[in-house]
Amino acid sequence: MKRVLCCLFIVFICLALTSCQHWVGISTNELVKRLGPPVNVVPSGDFSVYTYFDGLGGAPMKFYVDKEGIVRRWDAAPVPGDFGAADDTVIGPIGGPGI
């Protein structure tokens, strides 16, 4: 039983690690391959800031690329947890009898 739990824990950790996007350390070629061409590229000190629109967060995603073309850090707006009010949620068939 202990081995089974250990194996399940290892599988869970592996799935959790592979489900995350690993942006830091990739090249700009890989970034463009994954997201397409950037909306804007602005030099900022030692970095170039590549800007992409984020469909989930609503705010732009910014990737800070060094002079060698490697992503060193990135930031984006958090994804909103509430996509609608409780009144907007319809449970059951839409347009049924009485509607």
**Which of the following CATH numbers is that of domain 21-77: 3.30.1450.10, 3.90.950.10, 3.40.640.10, 3.30.70.20?**
3.30.1450.10
pTM confidence score: 0.59
What is the rounded radius of gyration, in angstroms, for the C-alpha atoms of the chain?
A: 21
- Residues contacting residue 62 through CB under 8 Å, at least 6 positions apart: 49, 50, 51, 74, 75, 76
Q: pLDDT by residue (tens digit) across 24-68? A: 899 999 999 988 999 999 998 899 999 998 776 677 889 999 999
